Amino acid sequence: MSGRKVVVALGGNAILSTDASAAAQQQALRDTAKYLVKFIQQGDKLIVSHGNGPQVGNLLLQQAAGSTQTNPAMPLDTAVSMTQGSIGYWMQNALDEVLAEENMDVDVATLVTQVEVDANDDAFTNPTKPIGPFYSKEESEQKKAENPDQVFVEDAGRGYRRVVPSPRPIGVKEYKVVDALVDAGVVPISVGGGGVPVVKEANRLVGREAVIDKDFASEKLAELVHADLLIILTAVDNIYVNFNKPDQKKLENVTVDELAQYIKEDQFAKGSMLPKVQAAMDFVKNSNGGKAVVTSLENVGQFLENGSGTIITR
């Protein structure tokens, strides 16, 4: 069980509590760090990634509120990099604290990460990635009237959110740096918020206004660094089929082919569980014997002890 290279993908919603203050988010990450350190304690080589959907949306609101002609709001790709820095700082600080409590001499470093996407990805004309706070239908219509270029959709029955392009990642510019950090015994925090979306133009990487799904970015990173395990953390301990129905079924050990059939049956909600399932499948298919796990942060201890969670294999 020891010595595995493990990529753990945290959701942005796991960082943001009902209180959006920096102090509340830092406390949430201190709680999260206690679970993550369990991997290091058993000898795993840990790589952490995280989402930023709530945080980048809130930052954009702050940017817009303070924008003037001489001090304009930053573009979305820059806002993504800003949240990589802020969340990464909070996370490495939290991990440092827990590691010190456990008398473990392990360094943690946040890496601003650029993730390459295809400039012709259809996502740029079909925004789907929810960011920022939830609005009522009336509030979303008002926001749309104030910002005609923005798109708002209902998000999993919880309200309306702004959606932005979410292209698929095709590469991670700094993956060799991540590998070097792991080889040096450092815990890297990488592809934060799905990474800064960039496209290649000659020898230059140019930012694009988008938010890459952190599960797909984490998968691409895990694939490139030849991870043994990709763990995607979500709100539930397992993936379910017939979710919230009388005949719902918990998936514990499942193959890529079985998941593909469930996708054909529309078992997984778009924008929530579906991308997690697809990312897990991609990793298993594209890695050399790697496994993927979908479970909750709170279930990490049980997973390490007895394999609890949904484990995806070929």
- Which one of 11, 12, 51, 193 is the catalytic residue? 12
- Which one of 45, 276, 291, 309 is the catalytic residue? 276
Question: Has residue 244 been placed in a domain?
Answer: yes
CATH number assigned to the domain comprising residue 19: 3.40.1160.10
Q: Is 276 a catalytic site residue?
A: yes
Task: Give mean pLDDT, residues 282-290.
Answer: 96
- Which one of 51, 88, 129, 290 is the catalytic residue? 129
More confident residue, 20 or 283: 283
Residue 11 has pLDDT above 90, yes or no: no
Distance in angstroms (rounded) separating the CA atoms of residues 131 and 250: 29
Partners of residue 114 on adjacent β-strands: 196
7, 49 Cβ separation under 8 angstroms: yes
Question: Has residue 233 been placed in a domain?
Answer: yes
Top-confidence range, 51-55, 65-69, 239-243, 267-271: 239-243
- Owner of token pair 């017939």: 242
Which pLDDT does position 280 carry in this prediction?
98
Residue 251 has pLDDT above 70, yes or no: yes
Which pLDDT does position 210 carry in this prediction?
92
- Which one of 214, 220, 290, 309 is the catalytic residue? 214
Question: Has residue 155 been placed in a domain?
Answer: no
Q: Is 214 a catalytic site residue?
A: yes
Question: Has residue 156 been placed in a domain?
Answer: no
Question: Has residue 47 been placed in a domain?
Answer: yes
Long-range pairs, 133-142, Cβ under 8 A, ≥24:
133/54, 133/57, 133/58, 133/61, 133/161, 134/158, 134/159, 134/160, 134/161, 135/159, 135/160, 135/161, 136/160
Which pLDDT does position 218 carry in this prediction?
98
pLDDT in tens, 110-120: 999 999 999 99
pLDDT in tens, 42-94: 999 999 999 987 888 889 889 988 989 999 989 999 999 999 999 999 999 99
Q: List, in order, residues 6 or more apart from 89 with CB less than 8 Å away.
A: 110
Angstrom distances, CA of residue 257 to CA of 98, 277, 281, 285: 40, 12, 9, 10
Which pLDDT does position 67 carry in this prediction?
87
Question: Has residue 130 been placed in a domain?
Answer: no
Using 50, 70 and 90 to split pLDDT, how confident is the model at 25?
Answer: confident
Distance in angstroms (rounded) separating the CA atoms of residues 123 and 165: 5
Question: Has residue 301 been placed in a domain?
Answer: yes
Distance in angstroms (rounded) separating the CA atoms of residues 309 and 314: 16
pLDDT in tens, 127-148: 988 887 889 999 999 989 988 9
Q: Is 192 a catalytic site residue?
A: no
Distance in angstroms (rounded) separating the CA atoms of residues 198 and 192: 14
Distance in angstroms (rounded) separating the CA atoms of residues 266 and 107: 43
Distance in angstroms (rounded) separating the CA atoms of residues 94 and 186: 15
- Which one of 13, 126, 147, 242 is the catalytic residue? 13
Residue 1 has pLDDT above 70, yes or no: no
Closest CA to 124 of 153, 162, 165: 165
Domain assignment of residue 38, given as a range? 5-55+62-115+169-312
Handedness of CA 275, 24, 98, 196 (dihedral sign): positive
Which pLDDT does position 24 carry in this prediction?
86
Residue 17 has pLDDT above 80, yes or no: no
Question: Has residue 163 been placed in a domain?
Answer: no
Average of per-residue pLDDT values in the chain: 93
Q: How many domains does the chain have?
A: 1
Residue 95 has pLDDT above 60, yes or no: yes
- How buried is 155 (Cβ within 10 angstroms: 0-12 exposed, 13-18 middle, 19+ buried)? middle
Distance in angstroms (rounded) separating the CA atoms of residues 58 and 162: 11
Closest CA to 80 of 217, 172, 221, 195: 195
Helix (H, G, I), strand (E, B) or coil at 85: helix
Residue 15 has pLDDT above 70, yes or no: yes
Residue 158 has pLDDT above 90, yes or no: no
Residue 2 has pLDDT above 70, yes or no: no
Residue 237 has pLDDT above 50, yes or no: yes
Which pLDDT does position 112 carry in this prediction?
98
Q: Is 271 a catalytic site residue?
A: no
Using 50, 70 and 90 to split pLDDT, how confident is the model at 285?
Answer: very high
